[in-house]
């Protein structure tokens, strides 16, 4: 990493020739940027890895409590039968995979799973339905709205991923108490058509905007290992970095190749690529929660710690993700105890709390700004 790049982060008085800071340095010293260029992000991404991790760790400590990890649990409430052709997904009806289609679950089993997740320390409960969109599913959508209301009444953050949304559907989810909507961009705009053809990039951005306009926090990230290049990983971060509001959370998934899908033969994404992507996202999206998502179970404990050092501060934990393995609660509890980590409380992220209309004590808000910490 060049000295100019490093000191632009380490010292707020150092500014690039373009008169832009590469990252917010001290809380309140400069606004979070939304005018990043691809070249600026590429320079960060291409930095020597240890320098990049140090840079990202520094930014992380200026905006988050480095000892806290958000614990999230994901449940598949409607499995398989999706009409999309996402080439990584076992739930597509276009591929012959081990995943079999099933109807939308009733409310009771979902609430039981949410209570179990809460008892095990998860503070965000996420529900996924394998649909292209919600349109035409009035009874099913009404059932999901009930699930949202009931999980929210437990004091948990509640997230859904249901495919494409209209503004009216987003409004109803917000009124039911939805905290966040997950809709990943997956990869760069340029590489996207090689992964999915049944839904455009702009369709995805439209759903994100519908959720945002309704006052719902946005969860949007990508998948590594699709066959993309470094340029595409940079392009993904560029897309979310240019949004008028950065996503409140940015999931980083490592592809789990599923037999029967077009990407079944893809190799596991290298760990250094995962760390480099997380660290770059942390520098560019300083206030966003970065979630280590699918594929985490393939990482060793020390590999996971490297991801946390690079700026990741959320995980999925529990019995499984949508259709892929997850790290169990007891394993994660032991790991966190060993490394001195603890779970976030619900609505600890101030931006999420504000949008949800939740007031939290100052001593619970995530970030070191309240403690006057400006560096490692």
Quickly tell me which residue has 């760790």 as its tokens: 57
Query: Using CA atoms, how far apart are residues 347 and 368, in angstroms rounded to an integer?
Result: 16
Of 234, 299, 303, give the one whose Cα is nearest residue 53.
Answer: 303
Say if 267 falls within a structural domain.
yes
Q: Is 152 designated active site?
A: no
Say if 341 falls within a structural domain.
yes
Of 276, 268, 266, 273, give the one whose Cα is nearest residue 294.
Answer: 268
Cβ–Cβ < 8 Å for 219, 160: no
Write down the pLDDT at residue 96: 83
User: Which of 108-117, 230-239, 322-331, 364-373 is the least confident region?
Assistant: 364-373
Domain CATH number, residue 229:
3.20.20.70
Selecting among 33, 72, 86, 152, the annotated active-site residue is 86
Q: Is 326 designated active site?
A: no
pLDDT surpassing 90 at residue 210: yes
> How is residue 100 written in tokens?
């079999």
Span 310-368, pLDDT tens digits: 999 999 998 766 666 678 889 999 999 999 999 999 999 988 999 998 886 665 555 54
| CA dihedral angle for residue 166, residue 172, residue 178, residue 183, rounded to 10 degrees | -10
pLDDT surpassing 70 at residue 25: no
Write down the pLDDT at residue 371: 35
Write down the pLDDT at residue 362: 64
Write down the pLDDT at residue 321: 62
Annotated binding site for [2Fe-2S] cluster: 126, 159, 219, 291
pLDDT surpassing 80 at residue 15: no
Say if 32 falls within a structural domain.
no
Please state, rounded to an integer, the average pLDDT across all residues of the chain: 87
Res. 26 pLDDT band, cuts 50 70 90: very low
Span 140-151, pLDDT tens digits: 999 999 999 999
Three-class DSSP category at 208: helix
CA atoms within 13 A on the CB side of 356: 28
Selecting among 33, 72, 126, 296, the annotated active-site residue is 126
Query: Using CA atoms, how far apart are residues 139 and 196, in angstroms rounded to an integer?
Result: 28
Percent of the chain with pLDDT over 70: 85
Say if 303 falls within a structural domain.
yes
pLDDT surpassing 70 at residue 19: no
Residue range of the domain that includes 204 = 38-357
Selecting among 159, 199, 204, 326, the annotated active-site residue is 159
In the chain, what are the helix, strand and coil shares in percent, each to the nearest 5? 40, 15, 45
Say if 2 falls within a structural domain.
no
Q: Is the dihedral of CA 249, 252, 258, 262 positive or negative?
A: positive
138 or 147, which is more confident: 147
Q: Is 307 designated active site?
A: no
The DSSP line for 75-107 is: EEEE-S-B----TT-TTBTTS--S----PPPPH
Q: Is 82 designated active site?
A: yes
Query: Using CA atoms, how far apart are residues 43 and 350, in angstroms rounded to an integer?
Result: 30
Res. 172 pLDDT band, cuts 50 70 90: very high
Annotated binding site: 82, 86, 89, 126, 159, 219, 291
272 or 133, which is more confident: 272
Q: Is the dihedral of CA 45, 62, 37, 200 positive or negative?
A: positive
Query: Using CA atoms, how far apart are residues 43 and 36, in angstroms rounded to an integer?
Result: 11
Quickly tell me which residue has 């779970």 as its tokens: 343
Selecting among 143, 282, 291, 296, the annotated active-site residue is 291
User: Which of 198-202, 216-220, 357-361 is the least confident region?
Assistant: 357-361
Selecting among 124, 199, 219, 296, the annotated active-site residue is 219
Instruction: Provide mean pLDDT across the span 97-104.
Output: 85
Q: Is 72 designated active site?
A: no
pLDDT surpassing 80 at residue 136: no
Instruction: Provide mean pLDDT across the span 115-143.
Output: 89
Span 243-300, pLDDT tens digits: 999 999 999 999 999 999 999 999 999 999 999 999 999 999 999 999 999 889 899 9
Say if 351 falls within a structural domain.
yes
15 or 204, which is more confident: 204
Number of domains in the chain: 1
Say if 215 falls within a structural domain.
yes
Annotated binding site for [4Fe-4S] cluster: 82, 86, 89
Say if 88 falls within a structural domain.
yes
177 or 83, which is more confident: 177
Selecting among 72, 89, 307, 326, the annotated active-site residue is 89
User: Which of 72-86, 113-127, 211-225, 266-280 is the least confident region?
Assistant: 72-86
């Amino acid at each position: 990493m060049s000295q100019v790049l490093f000191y632009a982060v380490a010292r707020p008085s150092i500014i690039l020739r373009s008169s832009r800071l590469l990252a917010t340095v001290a809380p309140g010293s400069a606004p979070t940027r939304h005018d990043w260029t691809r070249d600026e992000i590429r320079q960060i991404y291409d930095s020597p890895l240890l320098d990049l991790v140090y840079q990202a760790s520094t930014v992380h400590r200026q905006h988050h409590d480095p000892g806290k990890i958000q614990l999230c649990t994901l449940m598949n409430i409607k499995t398989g039968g999706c009409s999309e052709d996402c080439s990584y997904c076992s739930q597509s009806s276009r591929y012959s995979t081990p995943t079999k289609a099933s109807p939308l679950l009733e409310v009771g089993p979902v609430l039981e799973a949410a209570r179990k997740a809460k008892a095990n320390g998860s503070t965000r409960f996420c529900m996924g339905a394998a649909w292209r969109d919600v349109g035409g599913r009035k009874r099913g959508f009404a059932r999901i709205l009930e699930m949202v209301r009931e999980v929210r009444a437990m004091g948990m953050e509640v997230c859904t991923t249901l495919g494409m949304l209209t503004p009216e559907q987003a409004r109803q989810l917000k009124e039911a108490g939805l905290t966040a909507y997950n809709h990943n961009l997956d990869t760069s705009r340029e590489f996207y058509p090689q992964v999915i053809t049944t839904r455009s990039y702009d369709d995805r951005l439209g759903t994100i905007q519908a959720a945002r306009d309704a006052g719902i926090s946005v969860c949007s990230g990508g998948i590594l290992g699709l066959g993309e290049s470094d340029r595409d990983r940079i392009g993904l971060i560029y897309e979310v970095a240019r949004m008028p509001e950065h996503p409140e959370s940015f999931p980083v998934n490592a592809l789990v190749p599923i037999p029967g899908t077009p990407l079944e033969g893809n190799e596991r994404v290298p760990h250094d690529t995962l760390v480099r992507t997380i660290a770059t996202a942390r520098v560019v999206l300083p206030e966003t929660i970065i979630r280590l998502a699918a594929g985490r179970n393939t990482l060793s404990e020390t590999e996971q710690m490297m991801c946390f050092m690079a700026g990741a501060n959320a995980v999925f934990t529990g019995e499984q993700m949508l259709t892929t393995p997850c790290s169990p609660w007891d394993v994660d509890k032991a790991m966190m105890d060993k490394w001195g980590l603890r779970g976030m409380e619900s609505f600890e992220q101030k931006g999420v709390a504000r949008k949800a209309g939740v007031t939290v004590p100052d001593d619970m808000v995530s970030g070191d700004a309240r403690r006057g910490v400006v560096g490692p």
